[in-house]
Structure formats: structure tokens, C-alpha cells
Amino acid sequence: MADYDSIDFFTDPAIVNDTPNYLAHLRGKCPVLREPHHGAFMVTGYAEAMEVFNKQGEVFSSSVAVTGPVPPLPFAPHGDVREQLHEHRGEMPWTDHLATMDAPEHGGNRALLTQLLTHSRLKANEDYVRGLVVHLVDGLIDRGGCEITKDFAHALSTLVIADLLGVPEDDRQGLIEELGLPPTQMGDAGHKAQSDPLQHLHPRFRTYLEDRLAHPRGDMMSELVHSTYRDGSKPSLLMLTRLASFLFGAGQDTSARLVAFSFRVLGDNPEIQRKLRANPERIPDFIEEVLRAENPVKCLSRLALTDTTVGGVDVPAGSILTINVGGANRDPRHFADPDSFDFDRPGVRDHISFSRGTHACIGAPLARMEVRVALEQFLSRTSDIRISEARHGPREARRYAYEPTYLLQGLQELHVEWDKA
Ligand code: HEM
């Protein structure tokens, strides 16, 4: 067994292929435990994660949401840290973006995006997504198999968010390349102190938004550029550029990771495939259980603004707390038999894979729809989906490589094979 006590969750590549066991080890010691490498409080319990979500704003700041304790805070905390945070926010990674904002800035800017991703827009977009999935599956089905992350999942999630936003077709590939690797690569120091790591995408997004100001179309950027805050004031072009570029980044690969995990579960479970082919209306519950068991976002970090407690453990002001999504999603005090995959379980949507509270994922309905449409199509056009044994080994000893980041959880590759229906 690995020496989990000496492993650094945030920098040790050994952990990426073994996260569930590491989290089970931590939870076994305490659902709130201070790890020794960065002094972060690791939360692995479900009730304790909820406690943190419920104290968001008053007690916890999202300023460290993306990178957690790496790098350390740019100030030595003393007492209530609100003033210090205010003074140093600009030196912290990602703090120009929505995910790390706090009230009141956060609420106003979040509302600009939530009013774009409405139920009716998603409903209208579903036909486009279905057409896209059919087109992608048409191109793959006769091959009898593929590497699902690159051949299908990434193409799907990129095209969907690019189309919704209104990114021109000719620019999409270039933008993905410019987006580069996700943040929080193990051992990467490069991403660390930029308050806006997406700045290099600004020229393109600014041009799109300026174009939509003069020539509105039906896309989200056209609406965004004409939007106002609740008090009627206009957001700056810089803020709109940041929101559009963040949405493009956030909508990219998280859904793709969920597609790949769904295929992995299907490929190992012919009986689940049979059940879903016979009852496609159960696909949404299946997706919820994949989200619980295989969370595409690994951790959510918060900064304690004042002295507080979580799960009865003292958390001093200035501490960074990291909610381990996979830990909470497998907490046996909340989910019975948490290591078994069971989409009939009560409370199948209780997982925290889209977070909770004021920062909960605004793309969740879109992600759920994309993945549902993809699975409906693949399941109806195949009679059997299998994991490639040549690539991943036999069922009892599968080999998978995960992306080397501490924020995100994703398979680097997933080779599957199928029989056509
Ligand atoms: C399976 C797919 C996805 C997963 C698992 C996921 C997960 C998450 C999580 C856990 C958060 C909250 C972080 C926190 O509390 O600190 C979040 C925030 C966010 N997500 Fe997603 N996401 C997914 C897909 C998407 C998509 C498709 C979009 C875009 C359309 C999107 C846009 C956003 C945005 C804008 C935020 C920031 C919300 C805020 O801070 O107020 N996500 N996501």
C-alpha cells in the first residue's frame, strides 16, 4: 500500500491514478484534516462539505477556488483576513474570473451568465446538439471503436460551447490550442500568480463582442454584450471579455471528461447497457451516478476569512480549505455502499460534483443534456460497447492514465470497441 501520509495531493503525480484510495485513507483519519505539505484543511466528508458551502461569503471566500494552496497566499495572515485579501487579491491566480469572485462582485456578474443559459435556450439548442452527435457518430460507427476522449468527447464539448457562444468555425481550433492545458498541472509553476491566465484570449473575444455590438446575432455573445446589471448599469467590455473567455474555457473539457467516464462504466457493465437500451429514460440517473462516482472536478478550495470550525475542527482565519469532491461523494455516512455503482440508489443527485451554493456550476444543465444526447445516440446505434483489452488490459486489471492535474479528473485516453446494432 502507498504511504498516503507522505504523499502531497497537490504536487505528487503518483496520486493522480490513485485518488479514491488516498481520499478514503484521509476520510478514515478524519473528515476534516490538515495536510502537512501546504497546511490546507482537506475536507473529505459530505456533511462537512455542506457546512462549508453554507458558510460561503460570510466565512469563506472563493478567491482560492481554482488553485487552492498552490501557490501560497501572497500575505502572511493575521486575524480576520478581509482587509489583507482586498489588498492582495490582484496578486492571486485567477482572481479576475467569476469562479474566484466574492460578493457583491460575484452575484452581479454571475447573473449576466445565468440569464444566458436559460432553460428555453438549452431546449432550443438540444436539436443542434443531437444533429452534431449524429454527425460525429456517423463518422465513427463503422470503425467499430475509437479513442473516445479525442475522437468524440472533446470534439463534442468544444463544438457545443463554441456554437452557443458564437465563436466562428474557423477560429475554434486556434482558440483551443491557445487555451492550452488546464490549470493546476502537477508541478507546474507557470500558471501560478496570474490574476487572468486567459488574457491571451482577450483580443479574439473582444473582437467578437465588438462585432456583436454592431451586428447582433442569435448567439450568447450577442446577448452578453447588450446585457446590464440588475441596477441597469453596463458591464465594462473588459468584464464581458473575461466572462466570455471563462465560459469558453469552463465549457470545454469538463463535459468531455464526463462522457469518457460514462463510456468506461458502460464498457465494463454490459448489464447496465442492456438496462439503458431498454429504458433510455434512465440515462439521466445513470449520468448522476457517473458524476458521483467519477467527479470531473476533483477539488474546490476556499479561504477562511475569520476563525471558524468545520466538522468541529478549528479552522483559523487565513486557512485554505480544500473540499475533496470524490471524498464527499463517497462518504459512507451519506451514500450507502459508496464504492458500488448503483443508479437506483436513493438521492442519486445528492453528489457535489457541480458544487453547491452561490458558486454552483452554471453549465450543469448543458453538460447533463450534452452527455444524455451522446449516450442516447451511442446506445441506440450499438448492441455492445467494450473497453479495449489490447489498450487497457483485462477487466480485472485495467490500466488507465489520468490527466496530471490536482483540480480536474479525467482519463488521458479511453479506447472502446462496439458492435453495431
Ligand atoms: C460535467 C461537466 C461539468 C462539471 C463537473 C463542472 C463542475 C463545476 C464546479 C464543481 C464548479 C464550481 C466551483 C466552485 O464551487 O468553486 C463549476 C463552476 C462553473 N462552471 Fe462548471 N462544470 C461542468 C460543465 C460546465 C459547462 C459546460 C460550463 C459552461 C457552459 C460550465 C461553466 C461554469 C462556470 C461559468 C462556473 C463558475 C460559476 C461561479 O463561480 O459562479 N461548467 N463547474
| Structure confidence by residue, pLDDT tens digits, 221-239 | 999 999 999 999 999 999 9
The residue nearest atom 3 of ligand 1, judged by CA position, is 254
Rounded CA-CA distance 114/235 in Å is 15
pLDDT tens digit sequence for 322-347: 999 999 999 999 999 999 999 999 99
CA 419, CA 139: separation in Å to the nearest integer?
Answer: 15
Which residue among 54, 254, 375, 405 is best mutated to probe the pocket of ligand 1, counting the most ligand atoms within 8 A of its Cβ? 254
- Averaged pLDDT, 185-206: 77
Q: Using CB atoms within 10 Å of the CB of residue 10, give its burial: 0 to 12 exposed, 13 to 18 middle, 19+ buried.
A: buried
Any ligand 1 atom below 6 A from CB of 361: yes
Cα dihedral sign, 27-48-333-409:
negative
Task: Give the per-residue pLDDT at 251.
Answer: 84
Locate 40 and state its grid cell: 490546507
Nearest CA-CA partner of 38 in 318, 293, 263: 318
- Give the pLDDT mean for 168-193: 72
At residue 5, does pLDDT exceed 90? no
Q: What pLDDT score does 193 carry?
A: 62
Given a cut of 90, is residue 377 above it in pLDDT?
A: yes
Is the shortest distance between the CB of 256 and ligand 1 below 6 Å?
no
> Is 251's C-beta closer than 6 angstroms to any atom of ligand 1?
yes
Max Cα-Cα span within the chain: 65
What would the grid cell of residue 380 be?
441506440
Res. 190: pLDDT tops 80:
no
pLDDT at 202: 92
- Report the pLDDT value the prediction gives residue 197, as an integer from 0 to 100: 83
382-387 and 41-43 strand pairing:
unpaired
Residue 295 has pLDDT above 70, yes or no: yes
In angstroms, what is the span from residue 171 Cα to ligand 1's centroid?
Answer: 23
Q: Is residue 149 within 8 Å of 414, Cβ to Cβ?
A: yes
Ligand 1 atom nearest residue 65's Cα: 16
Q: Do you find a cis peptide bond into 280, omega within 30 degrees of 0? A: no
Q: Whose CA is nearest to atom 39 of ligand 1?
A: 359
Distance CA 136, CA 141 (A): 9
What pLDDT is recorded for position 187?
66
Residue 238, pLDDT score: 96
**What pLDDT does 268 receive?**
96
Cα(135) to ligand 1 centroid in Å equals 27
Q: Higher-confidence residue: 198 or 332? A: 332
Mean residue pLDDT of the chain comes to 93
Q: What is the pLDDT of residue 177?
A: 78
* Domains annotated on the chain, with CATH: 13-420 (1.10.630.10)
pLDDT score at 186: 72
| pLDDT score recorded for residue 181 | 67
Query: At residue 286, does pLDDT exceed 70?
Result: yes
Please state the rounded mean pLDDT for residues 13-36.
Answer: 89
Is the per-residue pLDDT at 100 higher than 70? yes
Grid coordinates given for 164: 452557443
- Is the per-residue pLDDT at 192 higher than 70? no
> Which of 66, 361, 362, 403 to probe ligand 1 with, by most ligand atoms within 8 A of CB?
361
- The string of DSSP letters for 12-61 reads -GGGTT-HHHHHHHHHHH-SEEE-TTT--EEE--HHHHHHHHHTBTTTEE
Q: Is the pLDDT of residue 174 over 90?
A: no
**pLDDT confidence of residue 292:** 98
* Nearest CA, atom 21, ligand 1: 361
The pLDDT tens digits of the residues spanning 67-78 come to 899 889 999 999
**113 CA: nearest ligand 1 atom:** 35
Looking only at the bridges linking them, the beta strands covering 308-310 and 32-34 are unpaired
Distance CA 399, CA 275 (A): 26
pLDDT higher than 90, residue 54: yes
> Under a CB-based contact definition with an 8 Å cutoff, are residues 276 and 379 in contact?
yes
Dist CA 209 CA 381 (whole Å): 40
What's the confidence (pLDDT) of residue 45? 96
Q: Calculate mean pLDDT across residues 278-306.
A: 97
366 Cβ closer than 6 Å to some ligand 1 atom: yes
Q: Is 322 near ligand 1, meaning CB less than 6 Å away?
A: no
Whether residue 20 has pLDDT greater than 60: yes
Query: Model confidence over 357-373: pLDDT tens digits?
Result: 999 999 999 999 999 99
- What percentage of the chain carries pLDDT values higher than 90? 80
The DSSP string of 236-292 is PHHHHHHHHHHHHHHTTHHHHHHHHHHHHHHHH-HHHHHHHHH-GGGHHHHHHHHHH
